[in-house]
Structure 1
């Protein structure tokens, strides 16, 4: 009886958190755009660095708000800002935005507070470096959360629902991202033929093994299923980078052992109830610093 009560509380916490926190996964809409950012003068060397991405890059709540619109929830200590501080380009434009999909790279994105112009508008012929972190919202991982939570440690409701009949719907969504990312990379190269382009993978969110139910009330079967799906997405991103003349920054490897189930002084990805400044299920400042190091190792 006590165990069932704990599981029920965990379920309630997850559903409430996911329902209320649109910060990282606000559903994009398309509307009118405004002028794209010209790029801040960093007072450093040469070149122009542009960061295109979603909330795993914008890093909601990890630092002070940076740029506009406010609804993109960019922090001034996210990995693009850290990379720019290291490389010191003459210009730097972080146009990452919470909730962004690949469609928001070419179309404007309405957020809960303002409209982000098409992210690719920030890329021009003078651009010398582009980082691209996108795809998670195309797959819709966060939308799965309410249907994955369970009061049974070994249950796998998401896996059972999404693989009915032996066909993996989540794998299909990830495979569909491949073509979209490839097309985006082609657009970047066309707009900035001299730019170095780096695709940034997603960090490790879930641990090896069965997870940490009920702190994260996802059954062991779905922990394995979602962990494998995230790896599949990273594999797709890495393959597209290789086949479209781009570098790849692996953040999954360095973040292994720093997942949501690790201690508050170790984790790079916060759990449902963050213990440091970050959005739930998003990188914290430690995670953004680790991602910055991964990017720097590719571009340096």
Structure 2
């Protein structure tokens, strides 16, 4: 009897080993059907400032020309867009007060048990690093055009940026867990940032000091690395916008990101319509 029981246990273990491993609750690889409930979360690179008629809360700079609206139109989705310029990972669970606007509810409040799809583009604003790069660092460049006044080893801005980069993977992991808890059946797509800064060279439309250019490009690349790692850990989908936009930075011959003086409708240092079209195409390819 004891030997027979042992044989049964071994057989059960072998059968268990042959079965497929359980999939993550966030593993959604199928197409998103028309009419699906879609919630868009994120900051200004998702909100699409000045790319069309306003579609969000006052001060959020959200427009109908952003990729959430384009994606919803192309796939026939029921969109709830709560993207807001200046948003950080902390603003997803807490109220945000955009410039010249009233407090807006936490973005995560838009999620529910019936949410089918969530896109999220966030992280670059944590610690106001990107804002300081394009304001404080631009100001310091006036006094030291050839140096690296903002990003030299030990410079306060660089120390701050490194600190927030180190915290970002954990913050994004918490964000994705919170999304999964509030929208348990939703497919979650993390949208990366474009290659806004050139691989080499400088230009008047991006008035940083020459030595600060490399760190600016590296900063966005490392933010994307953190987003991709968090998405992979959570079983969410990561969409690589960097690879699709590299070579169309602010200083490029054919820029998809506006510089200090936009050449077409866009907020300075933010995407043109072409970049949002590219992001939409990437999402359609992933979801259709």
User: Shorter-chain TM-score: what band?
Assistant: 0.7 to 0.9
Q: Secondary structure at the match of 2:125?
A: helix
What is the rounded CA distance, in whole Å, between the counterparts of 1:295 and 1:189 in structure 2? 20
161, 164, 169: which is aligned to 1:170? 161
- Counterpart mapping for 1:49-88 below 5 A: 49-67=38-56, 69-88=57-76
Q: Which residue, 174, 193, 203 being the options, matches 1:183?
A: 174
Within 5 Å, which residues of 2 pair with 1:1-300?
45-67=34-56, 69-89=57-77, 91-111=78-98, 112-139=100-127, 140-149=129-138, 150-151=141-142, 152-160=144-152, 163-164=154-155, 168-212=159-203, 214-263=204-253, 266-300=254-288
Q: Say how many residue pairs are matched.
A: 250
Q: How far apart are residue 268 of structure 1 and its match?
A: 1.1
Unaligned runs of 5+ in 2: 1-32
Q: Secondary structure at the match of 2:151?
A: helix
Query: Once the two structures are superposed, what CA deviation does each residue of 1:143-173 show, in whole Å capped at 9, x if it has no partner?
Result: 133332324543111112x6349x8442221
Between the aligned partners of 1:268 and 1:141, the Cα distance in structure 2 is 18
The 3-state SS of whatever aligns with 1:277 is coil
Task: Give distance in 1, aligned partners of 2:155 and 2:55.
Answer: 44
Contact 2:169-2:230 within 8 A present in 1 as well = yes
**1:199, 1:247 within 8 Å by CA — same for their partners in 2?**
yes
- Asked if the contact 2:205–2:250 (Cα under 8 Å) also holds between the matched residues in 1, the reply is no
- Match in the other structure for 1:36: none
Post-superposition CA distance 1:74-103 (Å, at most 9, x none): 1101000011111112x2100000111111
CA RMSD of aligned residues (A): 1.8
C-alpha distance 222-193 of structure 1, shift in aligned 2 (>3 A): same
Alpha-carbon distance in 2 for matches of 1:207, 1:297:
27
Deviation at residue 119 of structure 1 after TM alignment? 0.5
Q: Mean Cα displacement is larger for which, 288-297 or 193-202?
A: 288-297
* TM-score, structure 2 as length reference: 0.82
CA distance in structure 2 between the partners assigned to 1:164 and 1:279 by the alignment: 28
For 1:278 and 1:187, the matched residues in 2 are separated by 32
Per the TM alignment, residue 284 of structure 1 is displaced from its structure 2 partner at its CA by: 1.1
Flag structure 1 segments of 5+ consecutive residues without an equivalent. Answer: 1-43
**TM (normalized to structure 1)?**
0.79
Deviation at 1:186, TM superposition (A): 0.2
